[in-house]
Amino acid sequence: MNAEVHISLKGGETIVAAITKESLETLAIKAGLEVIALVKAPQIIIVTDFGGYKFSARNQLKGTVAQVKLGAVNSEIDIDTAGGNQIAVSVTNDSVDSLGLHEGQAATAIFKAGAVILAVAM
């Protein structure tokens, strides 16, 4: 029922999207096609220390915290990846404090393949 789409990002990183075969056909996705990958910010988690654990989520993009934008309850954390992409993550202010998130800190953005939505130009 599902198909996997591997999306190459600039810098050599890869995002894996799990979509239905119907979506694959409807969007006419094939090798070499330019796509946009969307992931809702709350679907992304930030890991600063793996502590010897591995995660089942296939998408794990290493980077550096570029900006911490504090809000009333939640904050937006922008992570610059090694390949030059930026990922915006929404976390609680408590998470910012408990992880000690700050600009220049190494961080990994993690999300499941099923959280990726693909778009193509018409």
DSSP class of 99: H
Domain boundaries, the chain: 2-119
Topology given in CATH for the domain delimited by 2-119: OB fold (Dihydrolipoamide Acetyltransferase, E2P) (2.40.50)
C-beta separation of 77 from 97 below 8 A = no
Euclidean distance between CA atoms 82 and 90, whole angstroms: 20
DSSP class of 56: S
Which residue do the tokens 């992409």 mark? Answer: 85
Strand locations in 54-116 (E): 59-70, 74-81, 86-92, 106-111
Tens digit of each residue's pLDDT, the chain (122 residues): 699 999 999 888 999 999 999 999 999 999 999 999 999 999 999 999 999 999 999 999 999 999 999 999 999 999 999 889 999 999 999 999 999 999 999 999 999 999 999 999 98
